[in-house]
Structure 1
Amino acid sequence: MEKFLVVGPSWVGDMVMAQTLFKLLQQRFPGSQIDVLAPAWSHPILARMPEVTQAITLPLGHGQLGLRSRWQLGRQLKSEAYTQAIVLPRSWKSALVPFAAGIPKRRGFHGEQRFFLLNQRRPLDKKQLDQTVKRFAALGLDSNEAVMTTPLPAPALRVDPVQQQRLQQEFGLDQQLPAIAMMPGAEYGPAKQWPLSSFQKLAEELVATGYQVWVLGGPKDRAAGEVIAQSQHPSIVNLCGRTQLADVVDLLALTEQVVTNDSGLMHVAAAVGTRVHAIYGSSSAAFTPPLTENKVIHSLNLDCSPCFKRECPLGHTRCLKDLHLGVKELTHAGRA
């Protein structure tokens, strides 16, 4: 039996997309054990992936070098006798734990001179592997080229019906009205964020036509949620900062549709099957699309986009400010 240690990514969306890799590994090596080394915040997401045996905490914050801690963790994991390691990040530090653990096969892409840390290095052809999910999948296949001929399974997170019922009662959510979620956050920066005034206007239109709107996000998004819910209409509920990540998984699965920036929660929504209205400004749906057929992409495709910048280099952010999405587009869409 193969026993894998996968060094996972550091972003919510990337962790969701990594499930495609886990599914491929289970298909190729039935009954294999897949452990994922990842930040503690990601454990609720990994717990909803049936392919993952266990999540191992990387006790370091995002961007921390922590070479000594990584080495010590690797030596602790040596007794686990992993047969293969797959390192998704391209940094030198991310490859240190599998090396210290003495894992015989250690695979990853070229990057940061990891010559002795990884003994199965792959070139990263960005034209061939033009999506994040393809890059993750390639490391679970025999070659980069195999990605082009292998059907890639989409992420699919488990949902907890008991928790869904609890959350509806805890937050006083109407179980009769259809729900549409809004996710106004985008950790990367403002060049990926549709204006809050646009979210707020759409929310008002939706409740006027018989919907309830749930605004979802973390503590950093609480103020944004307050702007969207400023009318204090009882059918617009600001849940930003009031939920855990696992709660968001269950709540999104209850919604009819979501309106979202290109963000980690966009990928969570896609992985629970709800219809995704994804708004793209500085980023591109060609590179990080919601991994579902049940989606609508909204982008103006301006000449200056995608620029992939955190802030608009031209200072106007027209790619988002000029994008209009009304209730008509949502109410006529329904579920695919």
Structure 2
Amino acid sequence: MKALIVAPSWIGDTIMAQPLFARLHAKHPGLQLDAIAPRWVAPVLLRMAEISEVIDSPFGHGQLSLKPRWKLARLLAARNYDAVYVLPNSLKSALVPWLAGIPQRIGFTGESRYGLINIRHNLDKIALPLMVERFAQLAEAPGAPLPKPIAHPKIRSTANTQQTTLAELGLNRPQRIVAFCPGAEYGPAKRWPAAHFAALANKLAAQGFTVWFFGSPKDHAVAEEISQLAPGLCRNLCGATSLAQAVDLLAMSELVVCNDSGLMHVAAALDRPIVALYGSSSPGFTPPLSEQADIVSLNLDCSPCFKRDCPLGHLDCLNKLSPELVFAACQKRIAG
């Protein structure tokens, strides 16, 4: 069997799809499983043992781009896929597989995709509260119960790729690394304050840890702010690494402290000890899927609100989440 995955446009969502890929291989021995994905997501797919090849999806958010979609569909048609699993629920994500004439087009009903998706699952949010469960359901027949438990997502980082990454970036590996992921693509209401990160950096540095920041170029400024509040203790790598390099450096970390973000899911898939900080969002849908993850949240009456910015203007869910409370969680996880 030869199958294709239409991957999500978010790094964390793509990580949570990996158990689906493993189940497809278990059901179809000898399966060739390729993926079509945006280039910013492709590096995590390439670290999954189940994916043979990643095809670039050049479309930005919201772009219809009918002519380029038709050209991509012709490319896929020539590859003679037997089935495609369309993970996003949008109409546009199902268009190219339909134009390519792939016989089995599997996904959730989504945005009135009748015809475009011809093996349709109807989502029961109560039966499948977690995103990882919803993706795994696509390996089953529509209406069939989902076999549980679901294995945690896994991605690869080897000693060789780690050494190559250190050499490429001109980095020496410290004795003990704590990774901070201070960004969150969704918005400010998911970001722990810079002053709190700086206070935590001081506490961890006193125990002999070197603090490295990871994130996109958008996170560079907040990481610089933290560095200035904790002078001489931090290395700002936000925007200085590729995603593949960040995977390798996170794999070397003794502890990862992160907001609810894509890198949180990367660290979980690498089985790194994690302290995950939740404010406006909820771990009830997309928690870090690892036995080594601790979630720290104040669980205020006003949260989770799922807003990009605090609708009440105070952001108490994160401002009142003290560095002392987070440090205690770090100590517990390090000791464990």
TM range (shorter): over 0.9
What is the Cα deviation at residue 264 of structure 1?
0.2
Indicate whether 1:49 and 2:51 are aligned: no
Does the Cα contact within 8 Å between 1:184 and 1:221 map onto a contact in 2?
Answer: yes
Q: Which runs of 5+ in 2 are unaligned?
A: none
Does the Cα contact within 8 Å between 1:275 and 1:335 map onto a contact in 2?
Answer: no
Does the Cα contact within 8 Å between 1:129 and 1:144 map onto a contact in 2?
Answer: no
What is the Cα deviation at residue 150 of structure 1?
2.7
Indicate whether 1:106 and 2:105 are aligned: yes
Alpha-carbon distance between aligned partners in 2 of 1:152 and 1:47, rounded to the nearest angstrom: 21
Does the Cα contact within 8 Å between 2:274 and 2:333 map onto a contact in 1?
Answer: no
Q: Which runs of 5+ in 1 are unaligned?
A: none
Give the aligned residue type for 2:331: T
Alpha-carbon distance between aligned partners in 2 of 1:101 and 1:145, rounded to the nearest angstrom: 28
CA RMSD for the aligned pairs?
1.7
What fraction of aligned residue pairs are identical, expressed as a percent?
Answer: 50
| TM alignment of 1:191-270, pairs within 5 A | 191-231=189-229, 233-270=231-268
Does the Cα contact within 8 Å between 2:33 and 2:51 map onto a contact in 1?
Answer: yes
Give the aligned residue type for 1:126: K
- Matched residue, 1:130: 129
Does the Cα contact within 8 Å between 2:275 and 2:329 map onto a contact in 1?
Answer: no
What is the Cα deviation at residue 335 of structure 1?
6.2
Relative to structure 1, the CA distance from residue 92 to residue 170 in structure 2 (aligned partners, 3 Å threshold; closer, same or farther) is closer
- Matched residue, 1:333: 333
| TM alignment of 1:28-43, pairs within 5 A | 28-43=27-42
What is the Cα deviation at residue 145 of structure 1?
4.9
Alpha-carbon distance between aligned partners in 2 of 1:324 and 1:310, rounded to the nearest angstrom: 21
1:273-298 CA-partner distances (Å, limit 9, x unpaired):
11111111111111100111111000
Q: Which moved more, 1:318-327 or 1:81-90?
A: 318-327
Aligned with 1:229: secondary structure? helix
Aligned with 1:35: secondary structure? strand
What is the Cα deviation at residue 26 of structure 1?
0.8
Does the Cα contact within 8 Å between 1:256 and 1:335 map onto a contact in 2?
Answer: no
Give the aligned residue type for 2:188: P
Does the Cα contact within 8 Å between 1:5 and 1:98 map onto a contact in 2?
Answer: no
Alpha-carbon distance between aligned partners in 2 of 1:265 and 1:136, rounded to the nearest angstrom: 19
Alpha-carbon distance between aligned partners in 1 of 2:144 and 2:335, rounded to the nearest angstrom: 34
Indicate whether 1:17 and 2:16 are aligned: yes
Q: Pick the aligned partner of 1:299 from 282, 297, 300.
A: 297
Indicate whether 1:61 and 2:60 are aligned: yes
Q: Which moved more, 1:294-303 or 1:72-81?
A: 72-81
Does the Cα contact within 8 Å between 1:4 and 1:82 map onto a contact in 2?
Answer: yes
Give the aligned residue type for 2:220: R
What is the Cα deviation at residue 154 of structure 1?
1.5
When the two structures are aligned, how many residues end up with a matched partner? 334
TM-score (norm 1): 0.95
1:84-131 CA-partner distances (Å, limit 9, x unpaired):
111111111110111111111111111221111111111111111111
- Matched residue, 2:309: 311
What is the Cα deviation at residue 176 of structure 1?
4.6
Give the aligned residue type for 1:116: G
What is the Cα deviation at residue 220 of structure 1?
0.6
Indicate whether 1:116 and 2:115 are aligned: yes
Aligned with 1:41: secondary structure? coil
Aligned with 1:227: secondary structure? helix
1:160-210 CA-partner distances (Å, limit 9, x unpaired):
322322444565655353111000110001111111111111111111221
Alpha-carbon distance between aligned partners in 1 of 2:11 and 2:335, rounded to the nearest angstrom: 25
Alpha-carbon distance between aligned partners in 2 of 1:177 and 1:240, rounded to the nearest angstrom: 21
Does the Cα contact within 8 Å between 2:217 and 2:239 map onto a contact in 1?
Answer: yes
